[in-house]
Amino acid sequence: MDVIEAIRTRRSVRHFTAEAIPDEVLDRLLEALRLAPTGGNQQPFKFVVVRDAEIKTRLAAACRFRSGKPNGHDFVAEAPLAIVACGSDDAAISRFYDGGEVALAPGKDVPSEIQRRRGEYLNLMEIDLAIAVDHLVLQATAEGLGTCWIAALDEREVKKLLSVPKEMRVLVVVPIGYTDSWPAVRPRRPLEEIVCYDKYA
Ligand SMILES: Cc1cc2nc3c(=O)[nH]c(=O)nc-3n(C[C@H](O)[C@H](O)[C@H](O)COP(=O)(O)O)c2cc1C
C-alpha cells in the first residue's frame, strides 16, 4: 500500500476483534514512530505500549468523555494494544520572538515571561507528537489494522495509571487492532475551501 492509499483507506475504527498483532507488525509500527521528524531532532517523546488487559480496561475508563458518554471509549479495551503518546515541552524546541529576532531553543531554555506571551511563542512538542502518531496510524493502516486517535482523556488519571512522570504531558491514546467493521468515509471540505495560492484568500 503506498502512502496516498493508506491516507485514503484510514478510518477511525471503534470496534476491534480479539486477533493478536504479530510481533513483527508491532515492530514496524514502533519503527514508524521512531523515524518521525521532530523540531531540532529533539525527539521529545515516549510511547507507552499497553497490552495488559487490566491496564487497558482502566485506560479505557480514563478516556471517558466521548460525546459526553461515560463509557464512550470502552472500545480501547477491546483492542489488543493501545499506544499512549507522551511528550515533554521542556525537551521540545520552541520558537519565539526575541527582541528583533526569531529564535529556536529547547523549551526549558526559553524565559518564562516569553512563554507566557501569546502569539510570540510556540512550543513544537504537540506538532512533533502529532507527526509521530500519524506515522504510526498510517503504518497501521498499511498493515491492515484499525486505529483511532483519542484526545478526550483524563490526563491526570492516565498519568497515575501508567506512572508517567510529572513533567510529561499525555496527548493521545491510540487503540490498535484488526476489525471486522471498517467504517464509512467521513466527509471532508472541498480543496477550494482549504487551499489558496500566493496569499491567504
Ligand atoms: C487530534 C484528534 C483527536 C481525536 N479525538 C478523538 C476522541 O477523543 N475520541 C474519538 O472517538 N475520536 C477522536 N478522534 C477521531 C475523529 O473524530 C475522526 O478522525 C474524525 O471524525 C474523522 O473521521 P475519520 O478518522 O474516520 O476520517 C480524534 C481525531 C484527531 C485527529
Take residue 170 and report the three cell numbers written for it: 499525555
Mean pLDDT across 150-167: 96
Best probe residue, ligand 1, of 84, 136, 149 (max atoms within 8 Å of C-beta): 149
Query: With 90 as the cut, is the pLDDT of residue 79 above it?
Result: yes
- pLDDT, position 74: 92
**Position with higher pLDDT, 49 vs 67:** 49
Query: With 80 as the cut, is the pLDDT of residue 104 above it?
Result: yes
Give me the domains of the chain, ranges plus CATH numbers: 3-194 (3.40.109.10)
Query: With 90 as the cut, is the pLDDT of residue 15 above it?
Result: yes
Percentage of the residues of the chain whose pLDDT score is greater than 70:
98
Atom number of ligand 1 nearest to Cα 63: 8
- pLDDT, position 197: 98
Among 52-61, 68-77, 79-88, 162-171, the minimum mean pLDDT is found in 68-77
Burial class (CB in 10 A: 0-12, 13-18, 19+), 10: middle
Mean pLDDT across 3-17: 97
Chain mean pLDDT for the chain: 94
Helix (H) or strand (E) holding 94: strand 93-98
Atom number of ligand 1 nearest to Cα 153: 8
Question: Quick one: DSSP state of residue 20?
Answer: P
3-class DSSP assignment, residue 166: coil
| pTM for the structure as a whole | 0.95
**Position with higher pLDDT, 182 vs 112:** 182
Planar angle of CA 136, 194, 176, nearest 5 degrees? 20
User: Where residue 68 falls among pLDDT bands split at 50, 70, 90?
Assistant: low
As a whole number of Å, the end-to-end CA separation of the chain is 35
- Could you give the CA distance from residue 196 to residue 11 in angstroms, rounded to a whole number? 27
**Sequence-separated (6 or more) residues with CB below 8 Å from residue 123:** 89, 92, 93, 94, 107, 115
Match 510556540 to its residue by C-alpha cell: 122
Best probe residue, ligand 1, of 150, 158, 171, 173 (max atoms within 8 Å of C-beta): 150
Distance between Cα 103 and ligand 1 center (Å): 33
Pairing of strands 121-123, 93-98: antiparallel
Mean pLDDT across 76-93: 97
Query: With 80 as the cut, is the pLDDT of residue 71 above it?
Result: no
Best probe residue, ligand 1, of 148, 173, 176, 189 (max atoms within 8 Å of C-beta): 148
